């Protein structure tokens, strides 16, 4: 019986408690997988398979607003400028649940790659579709 008590008291991990750990370093600006104006496909959720245009990206939240996707009903109070009632509006969707639509075949999702184009002063970073290899913005 003493053996089982010793096992129960033994620490499960050698890690320090979360409060004692150093904070993770800031990663800086994340690469822009989806940008305003991009055509995207929804990979999961209640709108799976639908497509829309990105209206706004919120990189600090890891979410994006997509036109016509993830619609919710909101009760709006009447004001002097706006009529009251129940309105439908877009709610942000997580970036992991959307994928860029391939420029060659808009019904297929693609991952985004980055490459450098040009030489010297003209050199610039552009996004390209990994499925077809087509440059997205350039």
Tens of pLDDT along 112-129? 999 998 888 888 888 999
Short-list 109, 131, 105, CA closest to 49: 109
Choices 3.40.50.2300, 3.90.1150.10, 1.10.150.20, 2.30.30.30: CATH for 30-129: 2.30.30.30
Contacts with 24 (C-beta within 8 Å, 6 or more apart), sequence order: none
* pTM for this prediction: 0.71
Model confidence at 42: pLDDT above 90: yes
Q: Token pair of 94, please?
A: 């997580």
Q: Token pair of 117, please?
A: 């184009």
Confidence class for position 5, pLDDT limits 50, 70, 90: low
Q: Please report, for the chain, the start and end positions of each structural domain, with discontinuous segments joined by +.
A: 30-129
Confidence class for position 31, pLDDT limits 50, 70, 90: low
């Amino acid at each position: 019986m003493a053996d089982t008590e010793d096992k129960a008291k033994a620490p499960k991990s050698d890690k320090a408690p979360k409060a004692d750990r150093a904070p993770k370093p800031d990663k800086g600006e994340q690469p822009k997988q989806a940008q305003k104006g991009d055509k995207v496909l929804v990979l999961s959720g209640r709108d799976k398979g639908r497509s829309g245009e990105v209206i706004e990206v919120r990189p600090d939240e890891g979410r994006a607003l997509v036109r016509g996707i993830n619609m919710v009903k909101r009760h709006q109070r009447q004001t002097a400028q706006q009529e009251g009632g129940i309105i439908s509006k877009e709610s942000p969707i997580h970036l992991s649940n959307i994928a860029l639509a391939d420029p060659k075949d808009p019904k297929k999702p693609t991952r985004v790659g980055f490459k450098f184009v040009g030489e010297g002063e003209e050199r610039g970073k552009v996004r390209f579709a990994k499925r077809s290899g087509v440059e997205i913005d350039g």
